[in-house]
Amino acid sequence: MPLMVRAGLPGRRLMLGVIRAAWKIADLRVLMISTLVVALSSNLVLPYLAVYLSEEQGVSAGGIAAVIAIRFWSQQGLATVGGIVADRWGAPLGCRLGLALRVVAYTLFAFSGGLVAAAVAAALLGLGGALYIPSSKVYLASAAVTELSPRELYPLRSMLNNVGNAAGPLLGTAALLVDVRIVFIAAAIAVTAVVLSLRSLRPYSRTERSRINIAGYTELLTTRRLWAPLIGMLCFGLVYIQIEYSIPLMVTERTGGAFVGILFFLNAVFVVIWQLFVSTRVARVPPMLVVVAGLVVMAVGIAVGQSGAVAAVVVMVALFSLGEALVEPSIDSEVTAVVADGLRGPAFGLSGLFMSIGAIAGTSAAAAVVHSGNNFLLIAGICAVGVPVAALAALVFKPPVSRSRIGTG
């Protein structure tokens, strides 16, 4: 039976109450721990991957760029495949298979050398993410019957991810003082433990068997209700990629490279704080309205950084993180609301694909600004383009009052 949204429940408790309620449910407790450990292990490795490949493996700058691109596109581009696995063979299997591939990838990074081995490891790392991420989202939407709604569970998932995002680099830095390979070995061991723990997840009952056929996908792609969250995710990708591309470059120019590491740490910490105190407060607001508001906050935040002062940069990151905490969980909740069990996996995969398309547009547009001058206002203007696009999508593709789900006939 799919997890149901109880009328009037969302918004009545803070995230701490959600954590306590989820912890009492065995399957959700396992998934909470696995989400934290997976994010932690990823951030033990990824911040130092380029340095490791360059200094320890002797890979050229072009080769490193290729390895990073392979990891990104194998994860984002193949997310729909991960969704198919989740719906056809079950989300628990999709989670375990994805993480098993990540264990192999971390081991390859640690004990093999050269560009070819690094490219294979990067592909496995990305494919593992493509399998795990949509599978874990499907399980959250369709796991054991509980009073927790998706609009409470997805912010919880986001919060745990960002705890790992903040703690991982700190632990990785400590491990680097001993041996860089330790971070890969530690990640492999941690994820192996998660794979074993996920064996306890119960297969959930589905209202119907997976609809892995052309008709099912045609219905998914041609139904207006899904396009609002998909376009919202595209706009989110356009804005979010700036924290990984243009913002670090411009902050480095104005405050020095040392502050970039702090920037990423602050981003993760602020997202956790906002998830704790804000996310459940907006659970009664229509998700796409929250998405539009979040995009506005992110664009305004970038504009605040124009002065270049350290205080302005901190405020920029705080506002950007608030928008991030609002947007992605709301989109996941909307996908869950409009897509029936049996097609949610591919829907989440499509969501990831649309985010990557938005990221390409965001980096392409921002590249001209970065190379022509250090201007936060122009970057904010690029991001602001996503606001009317997402708002228009929310109006044009607004679900009917009945909110019947795609795939229910």
Per-residue model confidence (pLDDT) at position 147:
64
Does a structural domain hold residue 403? Answer: no
| Boundary residue ending a domain (183, 205, 227) | 205
Do both 264 and 199 map to the same domain? no
Q: Is 31 helix (H, G, I), strand (E, B) or coil?
A: helix
Question: Cα-flanking dihedrals φ and ψ of residue 406, to 5°?
Answer: -65, 130
Contacts of 105 (CB under 8 A, 6+ apart): 121, 122, 124, 125, 128
> Which of 152-156, 193-197, 316-320, 373-377 is predicted least confidently?
373-377
Q: Which domain holds residue 350?
A: 210-398
Does a structural domain hold residue 404? Answer: no
**Which two structure tokens, joined as six digits, stand for 13?**
């408790």
> Which of 3-17, 97-111, 151-165 is predicted least confidently?
3-17
pLDDT of 199-256, one tens digit each? Answer: 877 765 444 445 455 556 677 777 778 888 999 999 998 888 888 777 877 777 776 6
Q: What is the mean pLDDT of residues 47-67?
A: 71
pLDDT of 365-383, one tens digit each? Answer: 887 776 666 677 888 888 8
Do both 238 and 199 map to the same domain? no
Per-residue model confidence (pLDDT) at position 4:
33
Do both 189 and 231 map to the same domain? no
pLDDT of 78-92, one tens digit each? Answer: 877 887 887 777 888
Please count the CA atoms within 13 angstroms of the CA of 369 that sit on its side-chain side. 21
> Which of 60-69, 71-80, 179-188 is predicted least confidently?
60-69
Per-residue model confidence (pLDDT) at position 256:
64
Q: What letter does residue 241 receive in the DSSP assignment?
A: G
Average pLDDT, the chain: 78
Q: What letter does residue 235 receive in the DSSP assignment?
A: H
Per-residue model confidence (pLDDT) at position 373:
61
Question: Cα-flanking dihedrals φ and ψ of residue 397, to 5°?
Answer: -105, 30
Per-residue model confidence (pLDDT) at position 319:
94
Do both 252 and 335 map to the same domain? yes
Does a structural domain hold residue 408? Answer: no
**Which two structure tokens, joined as six digits, stand for 53?**
């490949």
What CA–CA distances, in Å, run from 47 to 42, 51, 84, 176, 340?
9, 8, 30, 12, 37
> Which of 39-43, 177-181, 306-310 is predicted least confidently?
177-181
Does a structural domain hold residue 7? Answer: no
Do both 196 and 215 map to the same domain? no
| Boundary residue ending a domain (205, 232, 264) | 205
> Which of 32-41, 118-127, 188-197, 393-402 is predicted least confidently?
393-402
Per-residue model confidence (pLDDT) at position 352:
83
Nearest alpha carbon to residue 119 among 70, 72, 78: 70
Do both 54 and 147 map to the same domain? yes
Most confident by average pLDDT, 101-105, 197-201, 258-262, 386-390: 101-105
Do both 141 and 157 map to the same domain? yes
Per-residue model confidence (pLDDT) at position 145:
43
Do both 117 and 144 map to the same domain? yes
Do both 96 and 199 map to the same domain? yes
- The residue with greater pLDDT, 44 or 187, is 187
pLDDT of 331-365, one tens digit each? Answer: 988 888 888 766 777 888 888 888 888 888 887 88
Give me Rg for the CA atoms of the chain.
20
Do both 292 and 340 map to the same domain? yes
Q: How many distinct structural domains can be found in the chain? A: 2
Do both 89 and 222 map to the same domain? no
Does a structural domain hold residue 190? Answer: yes
Helix H or strand E encompassing 223: none
Distance CA 409, CA 404 (A): 9
pLDDT of 266-323, one tens digit each? Answer: 888 898 888 888 877 887 888 889 999 999 999 998 888 887 788 888 999 999 999 9
Would the pLDDT of 154 be above 60?
Answer: yes
Does a structural domain hold residue 256? Answer: yes
Per-residue model confidence (pLDDT) at position 221:
73
| Boundary residue ending a domain (205, 229, 263) | 205
Does a structural domain hold residue 353? Answer: yes
What CA–CA distances, in Å, run from 113 to 42, 120, 175, 182, 248?
20, 11, 20, 15, 30
What whole-number percentage of the chain has pLDDT above 90? 11
Distance CA 229, CA 393 (A): 8
> Which of 132-136, 278-282, 389-393 is predicted least confidently?
278-282
Distance CA 203, CA 190 (A): 23
Per-residue model confidence (pLDDT) at position 386:
82
pTM above 0.85, yes or no: no
Per-residue model confidence (pLDDT) at position 7:
35
Distance CA 332, CA 157 (A): 11
Per-residue model confidence (pLDDT) at position 372:
62
User: How many other β-carbons are positioned within 10 Å of the β-carbon of residue 82?
Assistant: 32
Does a structural domain hold residue 50? Answer: yes
Distance CA 374, CA 223 (A): 42
CATH code for position 281:
1.20.1250.20
Do both 174 and 218 map to the same domain? no
